[in-house]
Amino acid sequence: MALLRASGISKRFGGVVALSELSIGVEAGEAVGLVGPNGAGKTTLFNCLLGILRPDTGTVTFDGHDLSRMPVYRRARLGIGRTFQRIELFTEMTARDHLLVAERARRGNGAMWKDLLNRGDPTTDEQVRAAAVLSLLGIDDVADLPVEALSLGHGRLVELGRALITEPRLLLLDEPSSGLDRMESLALAQVLGRVQQERGTAILLVEHDLEMVERCVTRLCVLELGQLIADGPTATVMGDANVRRAYLGEAV
Amino acid sequence: MPGLASRVVRLVALPAVLSLILVACGNASGGGGGGSQTQGVTSSEIDIGGIAAKTGPLANQYGPIFQGVQAYLDTQVPNGVNGRKIKYVAQLDDQTLPSLNVSQARALVTQDNVFAVVGVATPIFAGGKYLAQNNIPTFGWNVNPEWSDGPSLFGEKGSYLNFTHPGPGIAWLANRVGAQKVGTIAYTVSQSADCATGQIYGYQKYGAAVGQQVVLKDTSLPFGFTDISGDVTQLKNSGAQFVGTCMDPTGNTVLSKGLQQAGLYNQVKQYWPNGYDQSVLNQFAPLMEGVYFETGFVPYAHGFTQGMDSYLDAMAKIGAPVSDVTLAGWINADLFVTALKQVGSNVTRQNVINTINKMTHYTAGGISPGIDWTQQHSNPGPIDCNAFLQVQQGKFTSVFGSGKNPFVCFQSPNPTSMTPVPFPNDPSTFFNSTQPTPKTS
Amino acid sequence: MTHFLSFAIPGIPYGFVYALVAVGLVLTYKTSGVFNMAFAAQAYVSAAIYYGAVSQHHLSKWVGFVLAVVVAGPALGYVLDRLLFRHMRTAPTVVKLITGLGLLIGIPSIVQFFWPGQHQNPPSLSPKPNAVYHFGSYHIDGNQLVVIVAVLVVMAGLGVLFRFTALGLKMRAVVESPRMVELAGINADRVSSFAWMLSGFLAALAGVLLAPYYANIDATNFIALLVAAIAAAVFAGLASLPLALAGGLFLGIFQQVLTGYLPLNSIWATALRPSFPFIVLVLLLLFWPLVRRRREAGDPLAGVDPPPPALAASLRGATLDRLTTIIFPIFIVAYIGITLFLVPTHWLFLLTQGIVYATIFLSITALTGMSGQISLCQASFAGLGAFTAGQLATEFNINVIVALLIGGAVAAAAGALVAIPTLRLRGLYLALATLAFALLASNLLFPQSWLGNGDTGVNVPRPPGFNGNRAFFLLAMAVFAVCAVVVILVRKGTVGRYLSAMRGSQVAAETIGINPARAKITIFALSAGIAGVGGAMFGSLQGTTSGGDYNVFFSILWIVLVLTTGVRTVEGAVNAGIALVLVPELLSDLGGTSVFSFLGNRVTALSFFLFGIGALTYAKHPEGAVEFNKRRSLLWIAAWLDRRAGREPTAGVADAATLARGQAPALELSGDGQAVADGPAPVVPERSPHPGGP
């Protein structure tokens, strides 16, 4: 049974149809890529999956649960993590703070009465786990700077770390390499690979960087104007004529 | 060592610096206030202070009370009492804010070190409790229930205020003008609504015997916001003949206008609880023609009593308005000075208070029909006299009186009917003005 | 039908006036992002000028009209744009809101300063205001006629302007999409200047037209007008001019029609008639689709951008901590000692007041400081606490300390009750919802005899044993300390962290499993509870307190004050409390000296002016004036020490970043939800070549 299954998702904004009867699935532990021209609806799909937007039609199930009535934070707690196309950081915090607060939320055991008893500080356990993720991503040395002082590459890593520390079963990554140079992209791809192998996390990756796509995913979906025009093994899809026409472009 | 420096800077935080400033200021402004009985009194001077709502959203003018007090002091006791001049050291504005009223009451006592508070006029007398608790002789315009809070608080007409259970005056008036179907219109503001409750009570308790019937009671008008069409329609449909209002002059004029526009002006007689004031008449005369007013004091005209003549002359001299509020100031000053004179040389707060509270028939020199200070902190007192006026041809004219006596008096404090009782003073000695009596009808 | 019309017709003039102001509100909001609460003040100024010209100087009504409406209105609007709002274009929406609130407080005060006393019976624009015109069985008077005619003329003019002139076209474009207009090369500054002048004209006209409906000219009358106009503007989704017009008209008419159909003396009439605009506003905010749709499109109305944290904290070192533990307690003991024994009674009372205010202000430190949301009803919570404590203590003889705690609990429950329906609202809309609640509390709740007891008020006794001024001062300090510790603990604990995350990015916070509803309700309830406790202390200090102590004006004044001194720190709350008490006192002392005696009583009007103007510094220094000055002195001292030690002035990466943050907010969500970087921080998201789909 698929870990994530979205069926018949439609969404329109006023006169614009963003998604049209879209169905997509991700198996546990699988790495799936999602590509397509801009305006195809990729970020809209993510938002519908996570509950940030409510689709007009269709259902989303995750691990057997029907997500339709669930608010965003509940879906997150079920095990879906996400990064954002336009980076969404907690602007006042340091990188370490990001991980600490995500870890606290994961445990779900913070409460105001504990705060009042001065038990609100991060525990040793939380610190240890945060440190582990920081070193996994290689951002130990900038961990205690305010995130606004970090480069975009580091910022994206912080976002990824924040999603990772919640131990998601499925990671929704929205153009994580956007704004990164080639070295940084390669490093990111390596991290993703490790995460997938060590933890068995499923990944749904939206990307424009095709090299990264080829490196990271085994299955590729192509979206155009809100509809899926291809869904299959990476190499097959890359060679598909329709896909070339819509997105990849012909070889010169 | 930036860390240490930052800490030092941090420690020189506002509260510390402020404390030092305050100590300096505090010592400069003189020692703290205590409860000393001779505070505010020196061999040559007695200090008084006052609080009034001079600014704020409510329409009535409270500020002129100070003029009333000062005028009395200047014209009646220019050399002071027993060698001590009476001096206003503070005239504070509470801006219609209850919290400010409280602070200022305290400030008058603890900072300005006044002997007594003479001249208080404000819609919310939150500071009354403090003054009562500290036994400060306080005199002001009794438009608040707080005046009953203690034996040291003295309103100009007694310290008891009960809007909701008044005497038969208004019901009597309605009956006198031949109205059986009567009504009341008021604002939602509690004083206005209480006044309305009182009028209805009057109609029902005293008016039932003569067949009065309440056909309209509206207490839902938002204060200051004036649209009266609903009430006018109701008045028309019910055949009302008399309506008492519990509103300020603006609201009253809107009612008048509404009645005129609907052609009901002659059918529905109006009684206004305030607006007996020449400046209001100057502004709204066409809308006030035929409207009835009432006052518990001698009407504002020469020819009744010398006391009223003095007041009118003093107001004219300094150019202050003739109105309930300046009259209240005048009476406040008179009561204070009368007490001081009786107390003699040993001027203490307690002596002043005790002296006043022994007076059984205080008339403010012939302005009031009589106040009994042995009871009028807690009940309406033994005298309930009303002088009625009507605007006739653009002038306030005394009506329903007899000869020199403009008053109609009723049983008090617990009247059982609206049958008038005799005037409690000898008219030939009370109405002692040397000027010609004004025309009455 | 006749019945309906006979009530609807008097409603038309009101409706027209509301429509005028609503159109002005939407216009300035769309062209410059400012939700201009100062509109009421602008209306007041013009009404005052007209009154002065016509009633006091006996100029002709035409001259008065030209002065007050044609000249003063646009001039004031232009000045506000030029001097203030144009420079705040990139500031967060809520900063602009606070500036507007500061002006709302400051402008009427300065007018009163130059023009003291009461001003009764405002004149009508009409030459024959009392003339009656009959048509059929209906009639209107001269005043109503002139309102209808004036507004119709203005509306026609606006229609022509927008439809047929180039300027009007540009303005419509800016209303549709400001970004697009800039890309097309239109000078946005000129367009917005004109929009401000136009809306200033509308406010001035509304002020002069509405003034005769009230007994006197007072700023609070125009706040009622403002609230009705806000409801109409919300009805228009803050976007559509025709809808704003329609909304105002409907509101005015329905308000009057209600009079006709409600039984005259029922509880409905007494409660509903005065509160109708506020109730409509609340209902709109909660249910109106145009309000909700905004959020889904990427909510441009995000909460206030977080001001940078206290610089002193980030430079903290080991020496610091040791010094703290030694010197700070000594300092506190000295302060208390001086206050208790050396300060005279009057000043003791003032200081106690300051501490009690500071306690109430901690509620703002908690709510706005932690969640970034603005609440305009903190005074209402304080009042709830005070009245509950007072009623329990006097009616049921409950120990005052216990009553105080119960008062806090009741206020906290009210805070949760306000938070729950408004969970979806943020930023400006949430502020408006709290404003509506504050008005409802003042008009419906507090006058009830079992709560605030109308004008008579409620007695809140001193706790047994704390009757004396000194004892009560100590109690006030203790209560304040407890509340301060609570705020600090919550801020650095889970709730504080969650809120900090939500402030940075609410959607990202949700994606890591933070429940935003719970965090919001918690902080609202905590904040309201603290305000309630502070309010109960205030009531006990004063002895008697009534609804007038907790009206909307105070909520606005307090929020403006605390934001000016610093909303992120406990220190800011203390400074605000002391400032609130000291500034009027010092001013009146100044007024008592011979040099300034000509000021007399008007000097107290100056204090509100100063507070209002202080708010204007908020735009440049969102961390608070005190914090800003502290930082400057810290930097200077650090640099001086470095020079003395012969070192290069150090500025590590952390310092640079924190300093940079001190200068300008780093990230801001602009109108269409894109994160736009501002200032030196290098976190710049690259835009895709084509604007990506939502």
Q: CA of C495 to nearest chain B CA: how many angstroms apart?
A: 27
Distances (CA, A) of C37 to C25, C98, C304, C526, C615: 8, 9, 17, 28, 13
Segment B87-119, tens digit of pLDDT: 999 888 887 888 889 989 999 998 889 999 999
CB contact under 8 A, C335 and B19: yes
Calculate the alpha carbon distances from C162 to A243, B164, B207, C183, C240 in Å. 48, 57, 64, 21, 13
Task: Work out the number of other CB atoms within 10 angstroms of the CB of residue C461.
Answer: 17
| Non-local CB neighbours of B342 within 8 Å, separated by 6+ positions | B355
C347 touches B at CB < 8 Å: yes
- Domain of C468? 358-554
Beta strands in chain A (DSSP E): 4-13, 16-26, 31-35, 57-62, 65-66, 80-82, 170-174, 202-206, 219-224, 227-233
Burial group, residue C55, by CB count within 10 angstroms (0-12, 13-18, 19+): middle
Among residues C507, C527, C554, which one ends one of the domains?
Answer: C554
> Concatenated DSSP letters for C213-272?
GSSB--HHHHHHHHHHHHHHHHHTTTT-HHHHHHHHHHHHHHHHHHHHHS-TTSHHHHHH
C638 and chain B: CB distance < 8 Å anywhere?
Answer: yes
Q: Record the tokens describing residue C620, joined without a space.
A: 């440049």
- Burial class of residue B212 in the structure, from the number of CB atoms within 10 Å of its CB (0-12 exposed, 13-18 middle, 19+ buried): buried
B14, B17, B22, B257: best to mutate for the C interface, most C CBs within 10 A:
B22
3-state secondary structure of B154: strand
Among C494, C501, C508, whose Cβ lies nearest the Cβ of A114?
C494
Query: In this structure, are residues C610 and C391 in contact, taking their beta carbons and an 8 Å threshold?
Result: no
Distances (CA, A) of B204 to B163, B186, B197, B408, C20: 15, 17, 11, 20, 47
C–A contact: 3+ Cβ pairs < 8 A: yes
On whether the CB atoms of residues C449 and C270 are closer than 8 A, the answer is no
Q: Which residue of C has its CA nearest to A55?
A: C296
Same-domain check for residues C387 and C285: no
| Same domain flag for C179 and C30 | yes
The pLDDT score that the predictor gives to residue B35 is 41
**B230·C273 Cβ contact <8 A:** no
Tell me C122's DSSP state: P
- C686 has a pLDDT exceeding 50: no
Peptide bond into B413 cis (omega under 30): yes
Q: Which helix (H) or strand (E) holds A182?
A: helix A182-199
State whether residue C542 sits within 8 Å of chain B by CB: yes
Same domain, residue pair C275 and C376: no
Strand A80-82 to A170-174 pairing: parallel
CB atoms under 10 Å from CB of B397, counted, come to 17
CA dihedral B12, B18, B20, B25 (to 10 degrees): 160
Radius of gyration of chain A (CA): 19
pLDDT digits (tens, 9 = 90+) for C107-117: 888 887 777 66
User: What residue type is assigned to position C150 of the chain?
Assistant: A
C690 at A interface, C-beta within 8 A = yes
Interface of C with B in 582-601 (CB under 8 A): 582, 589, 601
- DSSP bridge partners of B159: none
When comparing pLDDT for C12 and B292, which is higher?
Answer: B292
* Subunits in contact with chain C (3 or more CB pairs closer than 8 Å): A, B
Confidence of residue B60 (pLDDT cuts 50, 70, 90): low
Please tell me the predicted confidence (pLDDT) of residue C328. Answer: 62
The C-alpha angle B359, B364, B369, rounded to 5 degrees, equals 85
Give dist(CA A249, CA B10) in Å, integer: 64
Q: Would you call C139 and B226 a contact, using CB atoms and an 8 Å cutoff? A: no
Token pair, residue B165, equals: 């259970």
Per-residue confidence at B306, pLDDT binned at 50, 70, 90? very high
Could you report the per-residue pLDDT of C13-26, keeping only the tens digit for each? 888 889 988 998 98
CB contact under 8 A, A53 and C490: no
Closest to C228 in 3D by CA, of C385, C432, C518: C432
Question: Which residue of C lies nearest to B64 if distances are taken between CA atoms?
Answer: C117
The pLDDT tens digits for C516-565 are 999 999 999 999 999 999 999 999 999 889 888 898 889 988 998 888 88
Chain C contacts of A90, Cβ < 8 Å? 500-501, 503-505, 508-509
B288 Cβ contact partners less than 8 Å away, ≥ 6 residues apart:
B253, B256, B272, B275, B280, B281, B391
What are the b/e assignments for C271-283, b being 16+ CB within 10 Å?
A: bbbbbbbbbbbbe
Class of domain B164-295+383-423: alpha beta
Cβ contacts of C379 within 8 Å, gap of 6 or more:
C438, C531, C549, C550, C551, C552, C554, C555, C558
Distance CA(B253)–CA(B275), nearest Å, equals 10
Quick check: A76 and C511 CB within 8 A? yes
Compare CB distances from C545 to B93, B99, B189 and report the shortest one's residue. B99
Best mutation site among A45, A67, A73, A109 for testing chain C: the one with the most C CBs within 10 Å?
A73
Q: What number of other Cβ atoms are within 10 A of residue B146's Cβ?
A: 28
Phi and psi angles of residue A204, each rounded to the nearest 5 degrees, phi first: -120, 110
Nearest to A120 among C494, C504, C510 (CB): C494
**CATH code at C55?**
1.10.3470
What amino acid is encoded at C547 in this protein?
G
CB contact under 8 A, B145 and C112: no
**pLDDT computed for residue A212 by the predictor:** 85
Residues C362 and C292 in one domain: no
The ipTM is 0.91
What are C17's two structure tokens? Answer: 């006036």
- CB atoms B15 and C335 under 8 Å: yes
Tell me if B234 sits within 8 A of C263, measured CB to CB: no
Kindly list the distances between the CA atom of residue B416 and the CA atoms of B167, B178, B378, B379, C596, in Å, as whole numbers in the listed order.
9, 21, 19, 16, 59
Minimum mean pLDDT among A11-15, B313-317, C410-414: which range?
Answer: A11-15
Chains B, C: CB contacts within 8 A come to 239
A238 or C198: whose pLDDT is higher?
C198
Instruction: Give the pLDDT band of residue C669 (cuts 50, 70, 90).
Output: very low
DSSP state letters, B311-371:
HHHHHHHHT---SHHHHHHHHHHHHHHHHHHHHTT---HHHHHHHHHT-S-B-TTTTSS-B
Centre a 10 Å sphere on the Cβ of residue C399 and count the other Cβ atoms it contains: 12
Q: Note the pLDDT of residue B226.
A: 59
Residue B6, pLDDT score:
37
Q: How long, in residues, is chain A?
A: 252
* C292 and C35 Cβ atoms separated by less than 8 Å: no
Q: By the CB < 8 Å criterion, does C641 face chain B?
A: yes
Please name which of C45, C47, C26, C46 lies closest in space to residue C36, comparing C-alpha atoms. C26
Query: Over pLDDT 90: what percentage of chain A?
Result: 27
State how far the Cα of B194 lies from the Cα of B171, in Å rounded to an integer.
16
- Judge: B22–C351 Cβ closer than 8 Å, yes or no: yes
For chain B, list the contacting chains (3+ Cβ pairs, <8 Å). Answer: C
B31-157+307-361: CATH number: 3.40.50.2300
Confidence band, pLDDT 50/70/90 cuts, at residue C307: very low
Chain C CB contacts of A119 under 8 Å are 493
> Which percentage of chain B shows pLDDT scores above 70?
89
Domains held by chain C: number: 3
Check the CA dihedral A43-A48-A53-A57 and report its sign: positive
A251 touches chain C (CB under 8 A): no
Cβ contact C344:B32 at 8 Å: yes
Instruction: Tell whether C275 and C377 lie within a shared domain.
Output: no
Q: Is residue C323 part of a domain?
A: no
Percent of chain C predicted with pLDDT > 90: 27
To the nearest whole Å, the CA of B243 is away from the closest chain C CA by: 15
CB contact under 8 A, A53 and C296: yes
Residues of chain C in contact with residue B63, where contact means CB-CB under 8 angstroms, are 117-118
Q: Give the integer Cα–Cα distance in Å for C29 and C301.
A: 12
| Cα distances (Å, whole numbers) of residue A44 to A2, A22, A61, A79, C119 | 21, 11, 17, 20, 59
Helix (H, G, I), strand (E, B) or coil at A35: strand
Chain C CB contacts of A118 under 8 Å are 489, 493
> Alpha-carbon distance C206 to C198, whole Å?
12
Which chain B residue shows the shortest CA-CA distance from C633? B9
**Facing C500 at nearest CB: one of A39, A92, A106:** A92
The three-class DSSP label of residue B134 is coil
Contact assessment for residue B387 and residue B297, using Cβ atoms and an 8 Å cutoff? yes
- CB contact under 8 Å between B227 and C319, yes or no, is no
Average pLDDT for chain C: 78
Q: Evaluate whether residue C84 is within a structural domain.
A: yes
Token duo for residue A134: 């920081």
Residue C429 pLDDT more than 80? yes
Looking at the predicted structure, is the pLDDT value of residue B359 above 60?
yes
The answer for residues whose C-beta is within 8 angstroms of residue B227's C-beta and 6 or more apart is: B254, C10, C256, C259
Residue of B nearest to C647 (CA): B1
Task: Select from A82, A148, A150 the residue whose CB has the most chain C CBs within 10 Å, as the one to mutate to test that interface.
Answer: A148
Backbone angles phi, psi at B390, to 5 degrees: -140, 145
First vs last Cα of chain B: how many Å apart?
93
H or E segment at B186?
A: strand B181-187
Q: Compute the nearest-CA separation of C264 from chain B (Å).
A: 6
Q: ∠ CA(C305), CA(C306), CA(C309), 5° rounding? A: 160
Give residues 448 to 487 of C whose Cβ lies within 8 Å of B: 453-457, 459
Alpha-carbon distances of C559 from A35, C376, C572, rounded to whole Å:
49, 7, 12
Residue C529 and residue C632 in one domain:
no
Taking contacts as CB-CB distances below 8 angstroms, the residues of chain B near C571 are 13-14
Rounded to a whole number of angstroms, the CA Rg of chain C reads 26
List phi, psi (to 5°) of A71. -75, 165
Q: Which residues of chain A are modeled with pLDDT < 70?
A: 1, 109-110, 249-252
pTM: 0.83
Q: Are both C446 and C536 inside the same structural domain?
A: yes
CB–CB contact C331 B11 (8 Å): yes
Please name the residue of chain B whose CA is at the shortest distance from the CA of residue C448. Answer: B190
Domains B31-157+307-361 and B164-295+383-423 equal at CATH topology level: yes
Which residue in the set C494, C683, C694 is minimally distant from A155, CB to CB?
C683
What is the end-to-end Cα distance of chain C in Å, rounded? Answer: 50
- DSSP code string of C555-594: HHHHHHHHHHH-SSSHHHHHHHHHHHHHHHHHHHHHHHSS
Establish if C508 touches chain B: CB-CB under 8 angstroms.
no
Per the CB < 8 Å rule, is C630 touching B9?
A: yes
Please tell me the total number of residues recorded for chain C in this structure.
694
Distance CA B275, CA B164 (A): 21
| Chain C contacts in chain A segment 17-56 (CB below 8 A) | 18, 38-44, 47, 50, 52-53
Return the domain boundaries, chain B. Answer: 31-157+307-361, 164-295+383-423
* Domain presence at residue C201: yes
- Higher-confidence residue of C608 and C363: namely C363
Task: Check CB contact under 8 Å for C509 and A90.
Answer: yes
DSSP class per residue in A95-131: HHHHHHHHHHHHHT---HHHHHTT--SPPHHHHHHHH
> Is residue C327 assigned to a domain?
no
C286 with C423, same domain? Answer: no
Answer yes or no: do C684 and A149 touch at CB < 8 A: no
Q: Examine the domain organization and report whether C258 and C394 are in the same domain.
A: no
Nearest by CB to residue C681, choosing from A41, A42, A149, is A149
